[in-house]
Structure 1
Amino acid sequence: MFVASSFPVITAYHLDTLEPQQMRGALLSLMGELAERDGVIARQGQEVVFKQALIDKLMHENALLKRMKFAAQSERFSAEQKSLLDETLDEDLQAVADEIEQAMQPVAGRQDKQVPKRAPLPANLPRREIRHEPECTTCQTPGCGCQMKRIGEDVAEKLDYVPGVFTVERHIRGKWACAKCETLTQVPVDPHIIDKGIPTTGLLAQVLVAKYADHLPLYRQEAIFGRAGMVIPRSTLAQWVGTCGVQLQPLVDALRVDLLQHRVLHADETPVAMLKPGKGKTHRAYLWAYATGSFENTKAVVYDFCESRAGEHARTFLGTWKGSLVCDDFSGYKALLASGVTEVGCLAHARRKFFDLHAANQSQIAQSALEQLAHIYEIEREVKELSAEQRLAVRRERTKPLLDALHEWMTLQRRKVPDGSATARALDYSLKRWAALVRFVDDGQLPVDNNWIENQIRPIAVGRNNWLFAGSLRAGQRAAAVMSLIQSARMNGHDPWAYINDVLRRLPTQPNSRIAELLPHLWIQTTLAA
């Protein structure tokens, strides 16, 4: 919009009637006005260019965030590969949407956007009513003064939170004496994980679950407890965690023994920074994860914290175990495979190569491969709940012909593409591992991919953002032990706090010969006597 000029309009008639001096002044005024208008136009043009660039940048960022958040959902056969940062993505998406709205609409012309209807808050939550009523129920309209009547109400519910409240258990042991024989009798108290300490198993379970399941470091828990009115030094919390780690280790050892009784296992590993003693720097350690097969009746996972990614750690953990190991193509597993372990490939890894290729350059070969793999995964969804025998029959009848056709097609396409190209690498990944990738067709107990263990290793990747690093090898091993129990409890549908609380209460009196009763997949919760 042009700024209205305060200069008079000068016409040709006016110019003819003006003296030379006046004419020069009028021309200068006119030139000034034109220059001012040109400046306004230039500024408006720059503003339009800037806003459009900002909008384009935000639109691009929004598209990337949406792809990160929704790509795994839209890709029907890689739903387990969802981003580990869903919460951050939701925040970023909303922030970018608001910035785009601000850039596209002037403030004065902005309209309230439609807000989706909120789901009602759970009916089982306690309600505390806060009444908002006028102090005077007499009409305040000038000249009226009538008594008003209540005709209804508007109700808005807001979710509130009150931090946890500490309570104290008073263990009162009565002293009973015999006057005749002068003997004293007292009922003994059951032993505790920390006999002479102040924490109950409930408090210890809270500290462990908060640290290893909710990823709250001890200094944050110290602050939370302080706000609730109880000052517990971080050093004290650390001592509790160390003691519990030692007490729980036999249970983790028993879980590992039980795990190795199964014929099908999954394996994967993820990096974790570990502080190098004496140097104040970190180096890359690894947390290995081993889980029972996704079709096994027992649901269990054991984490093993190691200083490196060397294959010797996997050999040490598995020992003399011989079975079918579902894993990726990491070279650390090669020695195991040479010792008699059967390799089961991950079809999701093979599919991911083609997905990345298609996302990068819209490759027709990649698209065709994805479509063929989609049919295989469609069958897998149908047979997921069947028995191993039924699953095997369907795979041999329907899946094997599809895989044979896919292998023949891949071999033909590989001859057409040059060595070293991205397409060649994607094809080679599958062709070189074909025997392992299709092994599931001849065994109904084998899964089609390694996504099961990737789901179990996800909490480690989430927690890694909060830990920053493991303070020592021992600290990493203790974390791996506790997280093995917590994640296995989750896999079996247990509340981690209830499980850890009950195990810590029973563990001091549990015979070693019956330690397996406390394993997450065998655990039956007990209740305290009143």
Structure 2
Amino acid sequence: METAIAAVQAEDEADTSPGKRSSKPRTTNRGSLPSHLARIEEVIEPESLICACGGCLHCIGEDVSERLDVVPAQFRVIVTRRPKYACRACTDGVVQASAPARLIQAGLPTEATVAHVLVSKYADHLPLYRQAQIMSRQGIDLDRSTLADWVGRAAYELRPVFDALITDLKRSSNLFMDETRAPVLDPGSRKTKTGYFWALARDDRPWSGDAPPGVAFTYAPGRGGLHAERILQGFSGILQVDGYAGYNRLIAPDRVGSDIRLAYCWAHARRKLVEITRNGAAPIAEEGVKRIGELYRIEAELRGLDPQTRFAGRQERSAPLVTDMEAWLAHHRARIAAKSPLGEALAYIAKYWEGLKLFLTDGRIEIDNNSVERTIRPIALNRKNSLSAGHDAGAESWATIASLVETCKLNAVDPQAYLTATLTAIVKGHKQSRIDELLPWNHPALCCKCHQ
């Protein structure tokens, strides 16, 4: 629609008929050009600085305008020369500087080139075959399999950083979890099998927590609760989830180990009622949506405040609404057929009622699971563009790199700069004992906002 409007406006502006003017001035959103961009100045002088009277013109001011220009990405070749030196007075041997370490031994790419491929694939969702086509336009003939080799080797080197990321997340008292499909080629069958990416996320920003946000994706061959249990080993605290039954394994009475409490998602409860309202008049479902909306309006006002203030506000304003809704829920469940769409929606809410109420007891708990669902959307885009992972190991590489890229985004860190610096540090022998220094939020100099 906006493209069509712009085309009509351009046609209108090109019409030079006498006296014809646009009935409405064109609205523009010029944006802003940040100060860190290079400025190439050009001065346009009049054809003559001689006045009609014969005198000389002098400058009394100027008009300045700025336009955004682009130099298309260009590849370049880094030529490394290592001279050899020998003594003329003796035969003690030849002296030569050691060859610098490389991520791809005897390979073509620099660490920045590998980072570019990773970011293009996992942040910009360009499959490797499309990247190969883009490179070919500059005369660089690289096969997709070569780029895949770079990705796999980078994922291997980045694995310790991923392990440090997930370890750091599990030290938190409150995490989000969700899962999404991961189609993987099944060798020999000429088909794909369905694996899953399990996302474990932290976002303490709604209650002004100090811990930086982050997300870690773990590939698993299935969706069973045993995979969630394996991923969460060592974690104790609040886990915010949707209503998937597999999470019940984490709170089973006979479970031995860490203490986990499940906080359920009001957005999922609301979604089931909204689906009913779309099929026609549904006053009970509409009332339920309205009641949940009142809770969300309160949450919007409490977002960003400290946990104590959020807890007090919820107790004063939200708790009475939840208590009233509990009575409303029981009343209508007794009157509506259990197997009707509305009956099933109300039964879903009743089934998870205790977990839905948990946000009232702690200001650090969010009302829904949306924080982790937002981090999963890029996985879906990659899945759509790339169709599938080549094998289980490829899916694990996908999870490793996507975790670091998405954590960069959550912390406003440029993933290209981060991955270049991190891969370079690893190649140069960064110590395993200091691996936490390579986590995305520990690179403040790479923050996109530092240039603004």
Shorter chain as normaliser: what TM range?
0.7 to 0.9
Q: Which amino acid aligns with 1:312?
A: L
The CA distance in 1 between the partners of 2:23 and 2:282, in whole Å, is 40
**Structure 2 residue ranges without an equivalent (≥5):** 9-21, 45-64, 447-452
Whether 1:455 aligns to 2:374 is yes
1:58-69 alignment, distance < 5 Å: none
Structure 2 counterpart of 1:251, from 140, 148, 161 = 161
SS of residue paired to 1:344: strand
Equivalent runs, 1:485-496 vs 2, <5 Å = 485-496=404-415
Please tell me the residue identity of whatever aligns with 1:414.
R
Q: Which amino acid aligns with 1:271?
A: R
Alpha-carbon distance in structure 2 between the residues aligned to 1:160 and 1:298: 35
- Aligned residue in 2 for 1:173: 82
1:436-466 CA-to-partner distances (Å, cap 9, x unmatched) read: 0010111111111000000000101111110
1:480 aligns with one of 399, 414, 421: 399
Distance 2:375 2:135 in 1: 30
Shift of 1:290: 0.7
Equivalent residue for 2:201, pick from 291, 304, 308:
291
* Alignment equivalent of 2:237, drawn from 317, 320, 323: 323
Q: Residue deviations 1:76-127, cap 9 Å, x none? A: xxxxxxxxxxxxxx79x979xx9xxxxxxxxxxxxx9979533337655877
Judged with a 3 Å threshold, the aligned counterparts in structure 2 of structure 1 residues 162 and 350 are, in CA distance, closer, same or farther, namely same
Partner of 1:379: 298
Quote the RMSD (CA, aligned, Å). 3.0
Could you report, residue by residue, the CA deviation over 1:243-283 in whole angstroms, capped at 9, with x for unpaired residues? 11111111111111111111111111111221111011112
Cα distance in structure 2, aligned partners of 1:127 and 1:511: 43
* 1:278 match: 188
TM-aligned CA deviation for residue 418 of structure 1:
2.2
TM-score w.r.t. length of structure 2: 0.81
Amino-acid identity (%): 36
Letter in 2 for 1:219: Y
Structure 1, 231-240 or 460-469: larger mean CA deviation: 231-240
Q: Which has the higher contact order (CA 8 A, sep 6+)?
A: 2
Secondary structure of 1:412's counterpart equals: helix
The equivalent position to 1:230 in structure 2, one of 140, 143, 146, is 140
Report what 1:439 is aligned to. Answer: 358
User: How many Å separate the matches in 2 of 1:495 and 1:162?
Assistant: 19
Which residue of 266, 270, 279 corresponds with 1:351? 270
Q: Of residues 405, 408, 411 in structure 1, which corresponds to 2:330?
A: 411
Q: Distance in 2 between matches of 1:323 and 1:122?
A: 44
Could you say what secondary structure the match of 1:461 adopts?
Answer: helix
Q: Which residue of 1 aligns with 2:28?
A: 118
Give the 3 Å change call, closer, same or farther, for CA 164–381 of structure 1 in structure 2. Answer: same
The letter of the residue matching 1:431 is A
In structure 2, the residue matched to 1:522 is 442
Cα distance change, pair 402–121 in 1 and its aligned pair in 2 (3 A): closer
Are the equivalent residues in 2 in contact too, given 1:499–1:525 (CA < 8 A)?
no
Deviations 1:178-236 (A, max 9, x none): 54683544443542212321211110100111111111111111110110222222222
Partner AA of 2:75 in structure 1: F
CA distance in 1, matches of 2:345, 2:296: 19
- The one of 119, 129, 132 aligned to 1:219: 129
- In 2, Cα distance between the equivalents of 1:162 and 1:521? 30
Work out whether residues 239 and 262 of structure 2, in 8 Å CA contact, stay in contact via their aligned partners in 1: yes
Flag the 1:201–1:359 CA change in 2: closer, same or farther, 3 A: same
Indicate whether 1:267 and 2:200 are aligned.
Answer: no
* Corresponding letter in the other structure for 1:451: N
Tell me what 2:18 maps to: none
Letter in 2 for 1:491: L
Name the residue aligned to 2:222.
308
CA distance in structure 2 between the aligned counterparts of 1:119 and 1:294, rounded to whole angstroms = 34
Matches of 2:188 and 2:442 in 1, distance apart? 43
What is the alpha-carbon distance in structure 2 between the residues aligned to residue 113 and residue 481 of structure 1?
55
Cα deviation code 1:148-186 (max 9, x no counterpart): xxxxxxxx9997765321112222334444546835444
Mapped partners of 1:113, 1:457: distance in 2 = 46
Secondary structure class of the residue paired with 1:290 = strand
Match of 1:335 in 2: 249
For the 8 Å contact 1:163–1:228, the answer to whether it is kept is no
Q: In proportion to residue count, which structure has more helix? A: 1
Matches within 5 A, 1:78-117: 116-117=26-27
Q: Return the TM-score normalized by structure 1.
A: 0.70
Distance 2:41 2:137 in 1: 22
Structure-1 separation of matches of 2:144 and 2:193: 25
Q: What is the CA–CA distance in structure 2 between the aligned matches of 1:248 and 1:473, rounded to whole Å?
A: 17
- Asked if 1 retains the 8 angstrom alpha-carbon contact of 2:240 and 2:264, the reply is yes
User: Structure 1 residues 115, 309: closer, same or farther in 2, change over 3 A?
Assistant: farther
SS of corresponding position for 1:197? coil
Task: Provide Cα deviations, 1:467-505, integer angstroms capped at 9, x if missing partner.
Answer: 111111111111011000110111111011111111000
Partner of 1:402: 321
